[in-house]
Structure 1
Amino acid sequence: MYRILQLLHFGYHQAMSCLFPVAIFGTLAISRVIEVPFLYRYDAILLILLAVQYLMYRSGLETRDEIKVICVFHLIGLLLEIYKVRMGSWSYPEPGLTKVFGVPLYSGFMYASVASFMCQVWRRLRMDMTGWPGLASAGLLGGAIYLNFFTHHFIPDFRWWLTGLVCIVFWKTWIIYRVRMVTYRMPLTVAFMLVGFFIWLAENIATFLGAWTYPDQQQTWHLVSFSKISSWFLLVIISVIIVAQLKHVKAGRKTKEG
């Protein structure tokens, strides 16, 4: 019975941390079957997601610092989307007034939702890390991963080398999280893989709902390639590096003030 209570408590906080991603999928699903009068679908999605973010902030579900992180990720994601669409990796075929270089502005929220989840679950499960490699190692690795998403169109793809570096740099890094009064821990690289896998599942749902379309999905939808899991694995690392570094800096400030 005790283990069941722990699992339910853990599941509750995971579910609450997923509120914004769920809002995105709900909006995609509803907008696919219900048209908003006088608005293109992409524009309606953007307005709805902006309203959701505002309500989450005003209700206290997200803090000001978390909103800042979400904005950073929205920009990072939007820049990557613009580049990838230009390179023909995928497309947004529907019309919209809020499209920039063929990319709807709402697309940045799909990256921001990962940051929202990271921030929420960190706070709710009172997470911490041991063996953090520091800003220099983590920052350089995160920058190299992000750059590789752009450069692999022109030079060899170094994702597997970068994956190996991730295992080396974060070999001693563990996530500490708390469920009620009990403390648990997990290797950070395992957490990367789990989150990457679940984002891949979410990606399948998103493409099915018409959030974007890969070239091989133009005629009919089918499962997204398993190779995309490695891409999300690496993208999650960038998310964790930024969020973890922010938490470390904030914790350091509190310690000095105390």
Structure 2
Amino acid sequence: MARALTSLEQRIDAWARRRLDALEPDGRRRLLVELAVFVAKQAWACVFGAAMLVAIVAARLWYPDDAPVARTDALVVAAVAIQAAMLLARLESGRELRVIVLFHVVGTVMEVFKTGVGSWAYEDGGVLRIAGVPLYTGFMYAAVGSYMVRVFRLFELRFRRYPPVWATAVVAAGIYANFFAHHFLPDARWILLALVVVLYARCTMHFRNHAARPWRRMPVLAAFAGVAFFIWIAENIGTAAGAWIYPDQADGWQPVSLAKLVSWLLLMMISVVLVTLVYRPREPDDALTPAGAAPRRG
């Protein structure tokens, strides 16, 4: 069962309810209010990742190169402080934290391997690192986990025709293995992407922006693609700030290849499977079906 909204989240809901009650049912201003609430809640769900990006950019712009504490170590301290603040403010529960820590471990293992084979590189210096990988990098994956668990709660996500969880877990395991294996074996990402499309092609996500009706819905694959795009934007900000670089950026920064969107979309599959450890996919209640829509079973 999802936790109750925080006081700030309740205020956003209350504001939306007051504004919508005062507007025409089908007016343009009503749609703008709906959009404003959606954007506000999405931004609020991203607070961990946004704070990490701010810390990374600030460290690059203002942190002294000759400081007694290396920049990468300072970022580890900042990341731990952000995580502690999320818990103290009760923006994440202990149960959600366990999944976020799992994101951290899964990401760090991949980081150690990928930097070892030269897929990307981090600046030298600091002691808080494993095999040359600064420990703050795991928090970047944890930020994705934080977003995923929070968006489930903020939007009360429900799913129609969600694929069998065991099948999604098998494909996610294959995706994770391919991130390593494609350096030695033929790359299976396009086969795995096709499997993701087959699994989720008929699945729709139902959500609501606020405590009042109506419920909205969208294809899950569209949601995956949207989140992958914004992670790609964040990746461009991170590489521009010098947090890490790809080989083709060694002679000067350039935008991250759009081909990385496929990698991030596949990562979304792993993320979703991990989050289902906390929030099991639930069918929409028939009572919550939008007015005028016939109840359907997946």
TM-score scaled to structure 2, two decimals?
0.81
Cross-structure match for 2:222: 190
The answer on whether the counterparts of 2:103 and 2:141 sit within 8 Å (CA) in structure 1 is: yes
Aligned partners of 1:135 and 1:245 also within 8 Å: no
Counterpart contact for 1:170–1:188, Cα < 8 Å = yes
Is the contact made by 2:128 and 2:134 (CA closer than 8 Å) also made in structure 1?
yes
Aligned pairs for 1:75-224 (under 5 A) are 75-180=105-210, 181-224=213-256
Equivalenced residues, count: 251
* Superposed CA RMSD: 1.5
Which amino acid is the alignment partner of residue 143 of structure 1? A
Within the candidate set 36, 39, 59, 1:31 is matched to 59
**Corresponding residue of 2:15:** none
Q: Structure 1 residue aligned with 2:275, among 226, 243, 246?
A: 243
Is residue 2 of structure 1 aligned with residue 34 of structure 2? Answer: no
Query: Does the Cα contact within 8 Å between 1:70 and 1:115 map onto a contact in 2?
Result: yes
Shift of residue 136 of structure 1? 1.4
Alpha-carbon deviation of 1:34?
2.1
Alpha-carbon deviation of 1:171? 1.9
* Cα deviation, residue 249, structure 1: 8.0
Shift of 1:68: 1.1
- 1:20 matches 2:48: yes
Which position in structure 1 is the counterpart of 2:26? none
Query: In the alignment, residue 47 of structure 1 is paired with which amino acid?
Result: V
Quote the offset at 1:245 in angstroms. Answer: 4.2
Alignment partners' CA distance in 1, 2:173 and 2:85? 32
Deviation at 1:240, TM superposition (A): 1.0
2:259: which partner in 1? Answer: 227
Code of the aligned partner of 1:198: F
The alignment's TM-score, normalised by the length of structure 1, stands at 0.94
Q: 2:162 touches 2:281 (CA, 8 Å); kept in 1?
A: no
1:69 corresponds in structure 2 to: 99
Specify the SS of the correspondent of 1:233: helix
Deviation at 1:88, TM superposition (A): 0.5
- Return the index of the structure with the highest Cα Rg: 2
SS of 1:185 mapped into structure 2:
strand
Question: Aligned partners of 1:184, 1:249: CA distance in 2, in Å?
Answer: 17
Structure 2 CA distance for aligned equivalents of residues 249 and 9 of structure 1 = 24
Alpha-carbon offset, residue 135 of structure 1: 2.2
Cα distance in 1 for residues equivalent to 2:190 and 2:278: 27
| C-alpha contact (below 8 Å) 2:160/2:205 kept by paired residues | yes
Distance 2:126 2:141 in 1: 20
Query: Are positions 1:41 and 2:71 aligned together?
Result: yes
Structure 1: segments with no counterpart, 5+ residues: 252-258
Q: Helix, strand or coil for the counterpart of 1:69?
A: helix
More helix by percentage = 1
* 1:250 positional shift: 10
Deviation readout 1:121-156 (Å, 9 max, x if unpaired): 111111122212122101100000100000000111
Q: Shift of residue 246 of structure 1?
A: 2.6
1:3 to 1:250, Cα distance in 2 relative to 1, 3 A: closer
- Code of the residue aligned with 1:40 in structure 2: it is A
Asked if the contact 2:175/2:270 (under 8 Å) is kept, the reply is: yes
1:50 aligns with 2:80: yes
Aligned-pair distance for 1:242? 1.5
Query: Following TM superposition, by how much is the alpha carbon of 1:64 offset from its aligned partner in structure 2, in angstroms?
Result: 1.3
The runs of 4+ residues in structure 1 deviating greater than 3 Å are: none
Q: Distance in 2 between matches of 1:225 and 1:164?
A: 21
1:45-98: CA deviation from partner (whole Å, max 9, x where unpaired): 011111111111111111112211110000000000000001110111231111
